[in-house]
Structure 1
Amino acid sequence: MPVGPITLILNGRAAVDERLREAVGSLRDSGFQVDVRACWEDGDPARHARDVAEIHAKRRGDADLDNAVIVAAGGDGTINEVAAALVECGGECESDAGGPILGVVPYGTANDFATAAGLPVDDPPRCLLQIPDLTCHFADVGRLNGRPFINAASAGYAARVTTEADPMVKKLLGGMAYWWTGLKNLSDTVGTEVTVTADGDRWRGRVLAVVVGNGRYAGGGIAVTPHARIDDGKLEVTIVPEVGVSEYKALYDDLAAVAEGRDPKLLTIGRAENITIEADAPIQVNLDGEPLTDRTLKFDVLRNAIRVLLPATSPLLSAPSEREERSLLGIGAERG
C-alpha cells in the first residue's frame, strides 16, 4: 500500500532529537510529504489529529489524500489521544481510503502499545523511517464508559502505581519505575471489592487490580493481558486478586505462565465483547495515561474502528486460524 502524506504529531520533548529531524528529512528526500506538528500543551495531540482528520473528511476522494497517515510520536497517552480523535471524527474504515491511518513512533516512558505491536521501541527515528514499509490493518478500539482507548485500562492498585510513580524515577528507570513503585507501596495497599461481568459470566471478590486490554502490555512492559489482539472484536480482562507481599512475585509468575500457555494459579483471565466492573467504592482507573475515578466501568468494542500501520508479523494481529470466535478463558468462577 503506497503511503500518502504524513502528519507527525510530535511530543514537544522529542522535538530536540536530532536523529528524528534527520529521519524527517530523509523521508522528504525520498518524496514523502511530511508535516510536523509539535505538542506543547495538554490536548494538543487530539486537536492536531482532529484538524487533519477533518481536512481529510472534507476532501474525501482527493487522490492526494488517499492513505494519509497520522503518526503519533509520543507515549501511550499521546497514541491514545490520536486514536480516540480518529474514532470521534468518524474514521471508520469502510474502504481502503476510509480515513487517516494511525502510525506510531514511541517516545514515552512505558511505550506499552508499541512494545506489544512489535515496533523497535529503543529506536524511535527508525520507527519513523519504516512507516512506508509497514502494512495497514483494521484495528478494534475499546471504549470505557464511552471513552475510546487503543491499549488498556487499569483499575485499582495498578492505576495508583501509574499515577504515583515519581517522574525522576521514571526518567532513571523507565518502565521499571512502575515495578519499583508497586513493590514499595504494596504493604499499605487494601484491595477493593468488585464484581466483574464478562459477556454474562460473573466474578466477585477483592482485587488489587483489574486490567482490560485491547493491547497486551501495561505498567511499563508487563504483559498483563498477554493474549489480546486488536483485530478479534474482543477485549481481554485480567483480574488480579488481593494478595499479601509474600505472593506478589507469584502474580508475575502467573503472567509468565499464561503467556506460555500454562494455567495461572492466582489470576483470572478471560476475553469478552462486553465487560462491566462494579466496585463497592469509587475505584481509580488509568486509561492509557488518563486518570479517572468511578464505581461502574462499562467496556465494549468498536470493531474495525481505525486503520493502523504495523509490522506484518505484529503479535497484536490474529493469525487466520485465530480469527474465529473465541470463548472466555476462565471467567465464571466466583471468588467470595
Structure 2
Amino acid sequence: MAPADALYPICFVTNTISAQAQTFLRDRHVQPGVSWADKAAGRLAAAAFNTATGPSSAAAAAQFLQDIRNETMGGVPVTIGTPRGMKQQNADKMLIYVHGGAYVKGSCYHLWHVTAMAAQLAGVQVLCFEYRLAFDAPFPAALDDALAVYKDLISSNHYKAQNIVLIGDSAGGGLALALVLKAKQQQLPLPGALLLLSPWADLTQSGDTQTTLTAVDPILQYTLNLAQPALTYVNGNPALLLDPLVSPLKAAAEAFKGFPPTLIQIGLRDSLLSLATILHRKLTSVGVASVLSPWEGMWHVFQASLDVPEAQEAQRELAKFLVKHLELEV
C-alpha cells in the first residue's frame, strides 16, 4: 500500500509521551472527508462534527467559564465566555478565537475545549465569531466576517488593539494570519499577540511533512480530508489557493514585518509541521518575535484533548503567553 493510500498510521507508538497520548495514537486514524461541493452533504457533515465535539466543549465550558453570552459584532454572530475567577482589571482585554474546521465545519458553541482552559488560566474573556462556512459562502466571506468583528472591537466596543490577542487552530490559524495581513493592508492597528495552534497556513499541498507524515499524522492527510475543503473554500478555483489571503505562507516575508509577537504550537506528528516551521522562519526573518513550540509525539490540534497531560501543559504555555503580552492580572 502506498503511504498516500494508507488510512491507519504506519508508525510505532512512542513511550516518550503520556499513557493517555499513547492510547490516543493507538485508537485514532484518519477519516476520509465528504464531498464538500455537495451543500447538503456538507451541512450534514458539519452537524455531525458539532455533535461529536459538543460533549467535550460543554464539559470545558462548565469547568472553566462562569458565563457565556451571545452578541452581534460587525453584523456577525459572536459568543463571549467569561472565565471563572477573572479579575475586573482584565475586563478591557480580549482573546479572539478563530475556530478551525478546514473552513467547512466547526462552531463556536462546540469548541470551547480549545480555548476555555487557557482563557481561565490567564484570566481573560474569550470571544469566538461564527464566520460563514465555505460550502455556503466561499472566500472571502470568512475573512470579511473576521475583519468586521475585529473592526467593531477596536472601534465601537472600545477595545484597544494592543489589548486583543488572536488565537486560531488549524484553518482558524490560517484565517487569523490572513486577518492580520488584511488589517495591515488597511493600516489598522494590529493585535497585541498571535497564538497559532497547528495553523493551516498554506492550502496547497506544500511543505515536506504534508507528504512525509502521511499515515503518521492520525488526523490529517491532504488528499483525503484537506484537498476538497481547500477547493471548496476558493469556490473551485485552484488559482485562488495561491492568494496570500487564502494561503498566508504564499506572502513574501516582507508582508509579515511588524506582526505582533507570535507563539506557534505544533505536534511532531502533525502533517502541517513544515508549514509551522516555514512560517516561524519567515516571521523571524523580518524581526517578528516568534516562538515555535514543538511537541513530541503530538497530533493536529492536540491541545483540544484536555484529558491528555501534554494538552494541559500546552494550555498552560498559551496562558503564560497571554499573561505576558496582555499584561493580565492573575
Q: TM-score, normalised by structure 1?
A: 0.31
Q: Which has the larger radius of gyration?
A: 1
From the two aligned structures, give the one with the greater strand fraction.
Answer: 1
Q: TM-score, normalised by structure 2?
A: 0.32
